[in-house]
Structure 1
Amino acid sequence: MQTNYQVANTQALPASAHKVLRNTYMMLGLTMIPTVIGAFIGMTMNFSWMAGSPILSTLIMLGVMFGLFFAISANRNNSFGVVLLLALTFFLGVMLGPILQVALNLRNGGQIVGLAAGGTGLIFLTLAGIGASTKRDFSFMGNFLLVGLVLLIIASLANMFFQVPAASLAISAVAVLLFSGFILFDVNRIVRGGETNYVMATLALYMNIYNLFVNLLHLLMALMGERD
């Protein structure tokens, strides 16, 4: 009887994990709606106060973000967690306003934004497909990605003071690689039962996609942007 139970439990785990992944993908698609709405609103707003006080504005943004992260985590097992997640994606959509305003002021800005969005989608679909279908366990990447994220945050904060364009591009290039790695790691972790809550799984994947898009857009603007 014990052997039969173990076999049944082993068979149930992948089915449960794939259910979490399916719900995560559905929720991820839903989060794009407030993000797009927020982005359109952000493109009409005046963000000159952020340019005048970049450090203060960054601290405010991080404070709101981490406050929502904490609230989402605390409510991850109830419907209010979904509401908070959608609120976060709306806020982050609005925060896309400054970079989208700069991008769309370029002569080929629409093309660049489209390429960044398409590139982000292609990277996500490719790596998520690998992470979900492969038998390989990518948990070994966890510590490396975490250290990389900490170093990336430190480098980004330091460059706020020094404002070195080459360093900014290097940081964005590293960020593209890092968050691509996180997509592979997080999807693989969901499939292997390492994350059983679809709200938290959606939050992780959404932040990966968001940061991947922003940094890819920054790189494309610098490399392809046609200014008048």
Structure 2
Amino acid sequence: MFDTTYTGGMTYRSASEINSAMGRVYGHMSLAVVVSMLVSYFVGTSPELLQFFFTGVLKWIVIFAPLAAIFGVSYVLGNSPSKTTAQLCLHGFAALMGLSFSMIFAVFNMGSIVSAFMGAAILFGVMSGYGYFTKKDLSSMGRMMFVGLIAIVIASIVNIFIGSTVMQMVISALAIIIFLGLTAYDTQRIREELSVDTTPAAEVSGALTLYMDFINLFLNLLQLFGERK
């Protein structure tokens, strides 16, 4: 690695090394998305499994488990685990997420699910590309998007119990805007972090962040534009 620079005792990756690291981030993220969709499809197309997971108290455990799990996974990744442990945490969380939104296959037409997935992929690609290549500092936008994210999370939890269709549509529309902004900001932030952090956990942590951006784009696009059965 002859083109790596050293400044103030800190090692910086070269541009090609950063690009390779980001390629691995996108690879981890893509695999996590595949895991989620496979689990979601397998459970969502089985009436017996849907009945088991989404009846009684277990329903609420399945719905809220990812909210609790994300803190546990973030804690593990923040303590520089091995590459295998980091990947297991990511894909285990992805499987749990897939289980939590598997009802979409019982509620929405397959065409709507595919369309929302493709739309999310395109929007994610555009915004992630912008965040990757722009020279503009997106920190201020990231802070604003994070405040908006907290607001819609609270509103979404409240609406679980209220069940307002109009409120859900408004939340979904705002969420799409927020996660588009977060996709660009997170991509730029991850790229900058990987310029100095060479641990495998850093790459997996970045993949987890981008995975959450993509999945939330997909789910909110489906909620807003999807055709129900």
* Superposition TM-score, scaled by structure 2 size: 0.81
CA distance 1:25–1:165, shift in 2 (3 Å): same
Shift of 1:141: 1.6
| SS in structure 1 at match of 2:139 | coil
Q: What corresponds to 1:18 in structure 2?
A: 19
Q: 2:211 aligned with 1:202, yes or no?
A: no
- Encode CA deviations 1:106-127: one digit per residue, 9 max, x unaligned: xxx1221111011001001111
Matches within 5 A, 1:34-183: 34-43=35-44, 44=46, 45-47=49-51, 50=54, 52=56, 57-103=62-108, 109-183=109-183
Distance change in 2, residues 1:21/1:77 (3 Å): same
* Structure 1 unaligned residues grouped into runs of 5+: 104-108
- Quote the sequence identity (%): 24
Higher relative helix content: 1
Q: CA RMSD in A?
A: 2.7
**Unpaired runs of at least 5, structure 2:** none
Please tell me the residue identity of whatever aligns with 2:32: T
Q: What do residues 71-130 of structure 1 show as CA deviations (whole Å, max 9, x unaligned)?
A: 343454532111111111122122221122100xxxxx1221111011001001111111
Contact 2:63–2:100 (CA<8 Å) still a contact in 1?
no
> Paired residue for 2:218?
213
Closer, same or farther in 2 for the Cα pair 1:180/1:199, shift >3 Å?
same
- In 2, are the aligned partners of 1:14 and 1:193 still within 8 Å (CA)? no
Q: Distance in 1 between matches of 2:12 and 2:62?
A: 49
